[in-house]
Amino acid sequence: LKIDRIHLREINMPLAHPFETSFGLTTTRRILLVELEAEGLTSWGECVAGEHPYFSDEMIDTAWMITETELAPRLLGTTVEGGGSVPHLLKQVRGHRMAKAALEDAIWDLESQIEQIPLGQLLGGTRETIPCGVSIGIQPSPAHLMDKIATELEAGYQRIKLKCKHGWDVSIFEEVRKRWPEILLSCDANSAYRLRDIDHIATWDEFKLLMIEQPLWYDDFYFHSMLQKRIETSICLDESIRNRRDALAAIDMESCRIINIKVGRVGGFSEAIAVHNAASERGIPVWCGGMLETGIGRAHNIALSSLQNFSLPGDVSASSRYWAEDIIEPAVTVSKSGEIIVPTVPGLGYAVRKDRIEALTVRRATITA
């Protein structure tokens, strides 16, 4: 296929509720969207880079620049076979995986429209529905958190993940477990702890957490492997896993027993599938993480989650948890049993609300061959 034009936009969207992690508070998302025009069709990709380089070293402004000057030109004026051929076309550029993923995912979406195959199926997915959990940020008080958890369980979500950090860990887990002894419960530290905290983290075993996500440094395998030997609870890696080789190293070193796959973090659907397959072959379950996406990134996460080894509830949840009004329709909804139905039509599986995107746009650029 030949791409005629690539449009970049920045949209600003206020979150329905502020989201706090150990690395900071987000109240409004600045989001880079890419729109491709090719073969008389249109497709979209969402770059999940944040407004600051706090989760990873990418941020929206670096993603914008690298997309405009380095990545988009490599996809224009050439024949692109399909989504699977994009990593090769972009490989001269090191890093910038979230920027690359937005473009690659949009091309898979185009391919799905051209081939008239549902996107999930094109990626190799077989699930008709995906199991959903929620990620709950650090709250103003424990009482606020308890209310949030009650609401999400009532809505049907199958797993509750609590953001944690020093001062928002043991006492919180205790209170939650007292009220809900049996629920699937996990926590995500976003690298808030250090080696001196190993004994502290070891005390969490009593809470029977499903996993502890990324407790130590964002770029570490070795010390996570030391920690995993000291505790019964499974470690799940998020930030550390950038590609298939990282997954293999982490599994081999027993740095984790579960992997969170984020398509942006690993650089696109091709690498996400490679991580999924490597984990699957080694008996390591995966789940799909989230980055506070709009409906576009959310729809791509749903398609990816339809692969067989996404066997644990992910962080892909209803649009309404993030947005008063999404940029797709219908909005993503979750059933009473905590599942999202995987679309069975080609492409995104949802209609993009261009009028709404226009209204939210604060910056734009068009790149042509």
On whether the CB atoms of residues 292 and 274 are closer than 8 A, the answer is: no
Residue with tokens 């729109």: 35
Q: What span, in angstroms and rounded, lies between the C-alpha atoms of 277 and 279?
A: 5
CA angle 273, 217, 97 (to 5 degrees): 35
DSSP H or E segment with residue 273:
helix 269-281
By C-beta, is 135 or 228 nearer to ligand OSB? 135
Q: Which of 270, 201, 206, 276 is nearest to 235 (CA)?
A: 201
- Residue 131 interacts, among Mg ion, ligand OSB, none and using kind-specific CB cut-offs from 5 to 8 Å, with none
Q: Please identify which of the residues 163, 165, 178, 229 carries the catalytic annotation.
A: 163
By C-beta, is 189 or 273 nearer to Mg ion? 189
By C-beta, is 86 or 201 nearer to Mg ion? 201
- Residue at shortest CB range from ligand OSB: 290
By C-beta, is 58 or 213 nearer to Mg ion? 213
Contacts to Mg ion from residues 224-253, by CB under 5 A? 238
On whether the CB atoms of residues 67 and 58 are closer than 8 A, the answer is: no
Question: Is residue 293 part of the contact set for Mg ion (CB under 5 A)?
Answer: no
Question: Is residue 315 part of the contact set for Mg ion (CB under 5 A)?
Answer: no
By C-beta, is 6 or 316 nearer to Mg ion? 316
Contacting ligand OSB (CB under 6 A), which of 290, 313, 338, 347?
A: 290
Question: Is residue 271 part of the contact set for ligand OSB (CB under 6 A)?
Answer: no
Residue with tokens 């009650």: 150
Quick note: the x/- pattern for Mg ion over 193-222, rule CB under 5 A, is --------------------x---------
Q: Which of 277, 263, 334, 332 is nearest to 309 (CA)?
A: 277
Residue 245 tokens, joined: 């080789």
Residue with tokens 């790149």: 367
Residue 125 tokens, joined: 């997915």
CA angle 145, 150, 151 (to 5 degrees): 100
Contacting ligand OSB (CB under 6 A), which of 85, 113, 135, 309?
A: 135
Sign of CA dihedral 126, 128, 131, 137: positive
By C-beta, is 109 or 293 nearer to Mg ion? 293
Concatenating the DSSP letter of every residue in 178-197 gives HH-SSSEEEEE-TT---GGG
Q: How far is the CB of 188 from Mg ion (least distance, A)?
A: 4
Q: What span, in angstroms and rounded, lies between the C-alpha atoms of 126 and 342?
A: 9
- Residue 273 interacts, among Mg ion, ligand OSB, none and using kind-specific CB cut-offs from 5 to 8 Å, with none
DSSP H or E segment with residue 155:
helix 142-155
Question: Is residue 188 part of the contact set for Mg ion (CB under 5 A)?
Answer: yes
User: Residue 244 gets which letter from DSSP?
Assistant: H
Is-catalytic flag, 163? Answer: yes
Is-catalytic flag, 336? Answer: no
- Residue 291 interacts, among ligand OSB, Mg ion, none and using kind-specific CB cut-offs from 5 to 8 Å, with ligand OSB
Q: How far is the CB of 217 from ligand OSB (least distance, A)?
A: 14
Contacting ligand OSB (CB under 6 A), which of 292, 302, 303, 334?
A: 292
**Would you tell me which residues interact with ligand OSB (CB under 6 A)?**
55, 135, 188, 190, 238, 289-292, 315
Residues forming the active site: 163, 262
